Chains A and B, each alone.
Chain A
Amino acid sequence: MYLLRRLAIAIGLFLCCTAPGLHPALAQDGLEALRPLVNELAKGKFKETEQQVAALVATGDPAVAPALEALGAGDLFFRKSDGAVFIAEKAGKGYALTDPLTLEPAGEAGRREVSKIKVNNRLRRTIRAALGSLTLMAPDPDVRRAAAEAIFKAKDPDSIEALDAALAQETDPRVQTVMEQARAAAVLNSDLDDSVKLNAIQTLEDKASREALSVLIGAQATASGAVLDAATTAIERINKSLAMWDAAQNVWYGVSLGSVLLLAAIGLAITFGVMGVINMAHGEMVMIGAYVTFVVQELIRSSAPGLFDYSLFIALPLAFLTAGAIGIGIERGVIRFLYGRPLETLLATWGISLILQQAVRSIFGPTNREVGNPEWMSGAFELGHMTITYNRMWIVLFAILVFAGLILVLKKTPFGLYTRAVTQNRRMAASMGIRTPWIDALTFGLGSGIAGIAGVALSQIDNVSPNLGQGYIIDSFMVVVFGGVGNLWGTLVGAMTLGIVNKFLEPYAGAVLGKILVLVFIILFIQKRPRGLFALKGRAVEA
């Protein structure tokens, strides 16, 4: 089992460092240069094999690791006809062969065509030590790190020496810490002195990861005296620090959800705040933005695949314009006849949302459409003990950008000035010469356009279907109502609060119950502050 696992790790390492895209040509040439050395293994007895192993290790190339692993595990065979060496695995009556360097399948062989390269215990030890130093001292820091992590998981006391040797000449600080911790784990698993073990516990405590915790818990079971005490306190400290990281991770998830809510709600906040209009078709604007992204990506796929990574940047202005134009159309066509009758507006826009949904369903079909993530939005990175995916991170940044942009537009441009004037006192603004109907139309267009670009962002994390908008409409209303109408900061605070509260409730109450609790909380909150957190004051309220 143990050797098999090592083999798997070594193969994984190998694949990592020769993965296509890094330097394939170089790797290929290097491999072929190694082949005569590997094939040498087929010749001679134990003593010769030992020398051959040493020669392989001397190359310092981690590509020989799989062959050595296989040799140690007794899986390395050579073909009698030409002396070529393969990693063989029993398949039916014969063996399935794998090239020991490229790790590609190399056909099959009958039972009698190949012969096992024999090893003894002494040779196995040599191989193990050789492998450790080979990977721990590999030129690539990622390989060294992975090797150290493998030892950390295996907690093999035999590798302490190899680790010490590797530590002596390690320069990369990241790899160094991993090695130190691997050494600590191995020390705890050995029968060394208590003082050495106490040092090891200290090292693990500093790492404060889940793995360190499990190592310590394992050590706690067998230890006694001072080591046991030290392990117990270390476990407590690690638990505390992990709880902090969990909280940080929850905050991050909350911020991430909050920024999605913010994107969906911010356009609504504008239309609701300025015109007092409840736009039930707002979610459909988000949906239209997502479908614009889909169309843009389809066009790029069919005509200019090289541009795929820029598809979102092309989709953003298009989504803004499309959704904005539809918004202005709705305002001019329907809503302007209904000013002063908010409940009727609500119904009419609901009707429009049904029409838009069905229109999209008729054009694009009722099923989910595939919207791809560009290269720079896929993957994740680690920050301390938190995992952060790139698409979430970009969406948070994007939400902040959109928010800042809107604030700028509203505070620094003439249009923003007029909009704020109309929000605060429509009649006074009109008598000052502001053409309020135009402002209404443009504001509605702006709000819808923002919803459109929110759709571009949401297409990256949600299913693009005709029902996309429906999922967001109630949440966005909650955000706007919670934050208070006519105040973008209120929307920001509302979205972030709801996002974070939701994510903190989830571990305790489950996703659905958490959401219900949030809804009930908002219903109760509205009783306390009927006009939201940041309510407009003065005459505007009565309008």
Chain B
Amino acid sequence: MMTSLLFRAMDAKAGVFLAILLTVIILVPAANLLLPESHPLHVPTYAVTLMGKYLTYALLALSVDLVWGFCGILSLGHAAFFALGGYAMGMYLMRQIGTRGVYGDPVLPDFMVFLNWQELPWYWYGFDMFWFAALMVLLAPGVLAFVFGWFAFRSRVTGVYLSIITQALTYALLLAFFRNDMGFGGNNGLTDFKDILGFDVQADTTRAGLFAASGIALGLCFLICKIITKSKLGKVLVAVRDAESRTRFLGYRVEHYKLFVWTISAMMAGIAGALYVPQVGIINPGEFAPANSIEVVIWVAVGGRATLVGPVIGAVLVNFAKTWFTAALPDVWLFALGALFVVVTLFLPKGIVGAVGQGWSALAARRKSTSKVKAGSDDPPGSAPAVPVSESGPPKSRMPAPDPQPAE
């Protein structure tokens, strides 16, 4: 059963993607740890951390793609799940500091001593154990998403209304986590971490390990997404996206499907947050900002909705651009990001991957009609996302952008 699911989920594109990801996971830490610093191919530690951060962003984008691309739920609040996962991990890391904090209290984190708290609040119990924290990384966003989705989907809140209340959700959490008496460090959040699972978070090896872990998590979640979308369940999800009322009339319990995929997606976002925190070394309420959630959506849109590979590419590309712009031309970055939003929605509705796939199938169709040679695709031209690219390597080679798409 499992293997057959897996088998069905794997197509050539997924295989190429996973192969590339695996190469990166192995090569980058190796180039960091094994090569001497003078070597031209040596990857400095800060770059490893940076790329690790990109991978967690990619995982977040993947989770948004699962709900938006395949189920039509545009979430403007996924940063909330990301940050909740991050806070769960941050709490574990805080408890690991122990007596090495500024105040040296064995149980209470520094900010609680500072605020004159006498004992640990009940919701901090258990976070000294990694397995508990790991469970919470999944459960905290999962339960929130389940409860929220239970109410939202059952009463058929859809479209922009849903987007706006997801935004309200993350905004409410943002305000809540800013409060000192919430017991999550208030404005400053959680920081000054020392070690994770006994390893020093600052050490090169730990950083490489975290990078690899992010990559592996991304690969596994990618597989899960692939399995979900290729299964019958995935077909229903797409039907919900394209014609929700019709699907309901056909007898499917639309809200159950939505709730399932919504919760899974929130958990993935939580994992991304949990891997993000030890790499950047801080989690604060700023992560809940609604603007962050919207930015995630643009990563997905740039890469291509409903492609699964696209969001990963989009997240890495946009964040690489952000890193570069904010260092070299800080004033231009918001112009560039804003223009990206506009250009992608106007001219690239299917994103980079979609456009490339479309260009490829258009090319294939032309070759078929001119040389009568049977081309590799039997999809009609224009059906972008699922075009196999078995014969010509990864779909990342640049192709001429197609014309603007008409409205769906």
A residues less than 8 Å from B341 (CB atoms): 347-348, 350-352, 354
Partner among B74, B154, B169, B178 whose Cβ is within 8 Å of the Cβ of A523: B169
Distance in Å from the Cβ of A4 to the closest Cβ of chain B?
40
Name the one of A358, A513, A515 contacting B335, with C-beta atoms under 8 angstroms.
Answer: A358
Q: Count contacts on A: residues with CB < 8 A to the other chain.
A: 47
Docked-complex contact B334 and A357, CB < 8 angstroms: yes
Check if B172 sits within 8 Å of A347, measured CB to CB: no
Q: Report the separation of the CA atoms of residues A448 and B165 in the bound assembly, to the nearest whole angstrom.
A: 23
Let me know if A247 is at the binding interface, CB within 8 A: no
| A338 B345 Cβ-Cβ under 8 A | yes
Asked if residues A342 and B345 are in contact (CB atoms below 8 Å), the reply is no
Q: How far is the CB of B33 from chain A (nearest CB, A)?
A: 39
Residues of A close to B5: CB separation below 8 A: none
- With contacts A334-B346, A526-B161 known, is A512 near B179, CB below 8 A? yes
Tell me, in angstroms, the Cα distance from A481 to B168 when the chains sit together: 11
Contact assessment for A347 and B339 in the assembled complex, using a CB-CB cutoff below 8 Å: no
The answer to whether residues A527 and B335 also contact, given A346-B163, A519-B168 and a CB cut-off of 8 A, is no
Asked if A347 and B298 sit within 8 Å, CB to CB, the answer is: yes
Question: Is A343 touching B342 in the complex (CB atoms < 8 A)?
Answer: no
Closest to B74 in A: A343
Chief secondary structure at chain A's binding surface: helix
Q: How close is A232's CB to chain B, nearest CB, in angstroms?
A: 38
Closest B-chain residue to A351, C-beta based? B341
Main secondary structure of the interface of B (DSSP, over half): helix
Q: Mark B34-68, 1 if CB is under 8 A from A, else 0.
A: 00000000000000000000000000000000001
Are B334 and A355 interface neighbours, CB within 8 A?
yes
Provide the bound-state CA to CA distance between A346 and B165, in Å.
14
CA distance A354 to B298 in the complex (A): 13
Complex contacts, A478 vs chain B, CB 8 Å:
164, 168
B 315-343 contacts with A by CB, 8 A: 331, 334-335, 337-342
Q: Is B308 interfacial (CB 8 A cutoff)?
A: no
Assess whether A531 is in contact with B172, with CB atoms less than 8 Å apart: no
A347 touches B157 (CB 8 A): no
| A354-B163 contact given A344-B349, A362-B331, A512-B175, CB 8 Å threshold | no
Contact (A343, B161) CB under 8 Å given A512-B179, A519-B171: no
Inter-chain CA distance A519–B157, complex, in Å, is 16
The CA of A334 and the CA of B297, in the complex, are separated in Å by 19
Q: For the complex, what is the distance from the CA of A524 to the CA of B172, rounded to whole Å?
A: 13
**A337–B348 Cα gap in the complex (Å)?**
13
Asked whether A346 lies within 8 Å of B339 as measured between CB atoms, the reply is no
Q: Is A522 an interface residue (CB 8 A)?
A: yes
From known contacts A341-B407, A351-B342, A528-B155, infer whether A519 and B161 are also in contact, taking CB-CB under 8 Å: no
A359: chain B residues within 8 A (beta carbon)? 335
Verify if B15 is at the interface (C-beta below 8 Å from A). Answer: no
Contact A530 B155 (CB under 8 A): yes
Q: Check A481/B165 contact, CB under 8 A, given A338-B346, A346-B160.
A: yes
* B-chain residues with CB within 8 Å of residue A527 when the two chains form the complex: 151-152, 154-155, 157
Q: List 7 A-B contacts (CB under 8 A).
A: A355-B338, A358-B335, A362-B331, A477-B167, A512-B179, A523-B148, A523-B169
Which 5 pairs, one residue from A and one from B, show the smallest C-beta to C-beta distance? A351-B341, A354-B338, A355-B338, A358-B334, A519-B172
